[in-house]
Structure 1
């Protein structure tokens, strides 16, 4: 097999609505379940709640609300799952980008306990959705965290104790060569397996959830980027060809809402990550790499993550581009990372390479809140959004139907602007990442 190939590539943008209007040329798009192309909004419609963004945050919110009998309209700038929800690594990883020990240290025991009580709920919601609506998204069990040195292994021991304190009893630590039961690589010092985690086809998951929402009477308009939001009662949401009048709004566009909510932009930053997908591997080779088909992410600050697909391709991702700009050659960036982990793949072709943009906050915790009592927002999962977006949808439905304490636990977290403003946030973040990456390489 040749190591060179014609690779399907795609680009993302950090500047609001992406210029493309179809799904990225990813393996996910190539293997997606059938889904209708929905019309753009035209004319004026009214609803109880308008959700802006048809990714995991938006569709989860819309589905939870529709299940409660709320009339919901969803506006999507491109296609359902166009952004990070349809491009990510597909790993079901519990908790948040900053864990409960950090939350407790910075914000106190009450905040840590409140968020800790919800840290594993998004995982359960995903599984509930898949079962209830018979969503075909290749769900597989288990994910693990891999330590690249002894310091990280000690961190995993502490991580296990922390999560067990918050109720996760499905953890298993493998030290020394015992980890090779799960990963056929010489890179690691040990791993922590979360048997309650897993992996799946993320685009098919969000497409299935969108279909479930529509089955309950919900309406989705695609190719309908929001160009203006006018506060009031009702709220007016304008697109190029239409208007939505809504009693309440959920802003769930994450990194693709530049210009629509300027009051939030200083407190978040679009970031890009890249993924490659190999040609299908022979069964014996795939089994050697990941004997039990588990999903993996390492413990580095700029982490690598990978897993197998249903047809034995290896999906491998890593790296962060602050500001969301794409590298000129995605395969050239990610392939060396893959070969460092699995040198035996040197002659394997890469069939797909793509990037996606996620939204990062300064404290790496999600931003939930409300403006003028009727415009809610959920965003800023900082690369840890698959499970938390599903939790966000449930909390949106709760706060809009009279239960606000769980939403308020997130809304009460302070979020500061990035130092240096829009001009300096990218270089300053890159310098910080270089510092932590150097520490990872030195094992300190």
Structure 2
């Protein structure tokens, strides 16, 4: 029995993914205006965004474990918390309610973002999962674009409540759609009755056959079961030996399986660098380009184009790359191009070079995320929530560290851009070294 992909679940997830970013970045383009309206400093308004990466580093693993144990319940909880956070900001017209709402939404963010591999693995067939991950990831960046557009429209202190109301409506509707479309297990979810039928229809056991290997007995461990030999499970079987009756244990077992996998560890280390450069560039591009005559409005437009290019790249490039088995090559190219773009900004900063270099970074660097997450989905099976949490945690940690370093050099733009170039180049050998393990993973996944 061939089960069909359920794209409605990806649509619902994409809406909520965009909502998390919209709440996060609502004040990114109106920091000064918001500080004046709510009677606080610009640094205090900055904390409305900074609580998100800070709490992500703390909550990434616990939220990943929750998703591995109770996927739909945890994901719906993330959607509802995001909506609740947006609504709390409407209760009172003061900074305290804003911060309370941001904290609620920041707790929800890892429950939503860590689920991008889980939603595709449960609701899409194997051949559609790279497309689903690309779409889900692109929607996250699309939420950033919506946030920048709203802050460009509602630029006065008196219009901020309207911006927050529109955001709350979007979040509530997104949560409602997601709750509706994931109310039942996906066709490829181990909890779905049809998965067991499909598995045994594909590979029935006879008394003379050995039972399928389990995570405890397979010589290569849980990761091998998740994407094991062709004889062990069909391509579209649920992740992690769903047909064998021995799913990967949740809790610390899932964390041990995810972190114990050498490929997952290498991807976590690699994620530090592109995330770090992107966050630092997004945070300080305006300040670093200002000495070259780039105004704040122009810098905001450059960053908006950067994210739009990232949305387009994330929705298209990973699909082509996976089809051509060129994941490692794309990572090397994107990191090298990012380094070259940063060097260009160091040597010749200006409006034109800013548009060209930063747009190139968005187009090539942001698609690295869905590519890495697609590898995680193929590798980890039922530990995908925990493994995705490790990737997001590493990325947010890299963003915090690199942003701090670049922030210390904000009065020395050339040095700051060269530091970001060096950070991108450091990751190139690691990206190149992924070629062999990715080829091995692909051969294990072939039916």
TM range (shorter): under 0.3
More helix by share: 2
TM-score w.r.t. length of structure 2: 0.26
> Which one has the largest radius of gyration?
2
More strand by share: 1
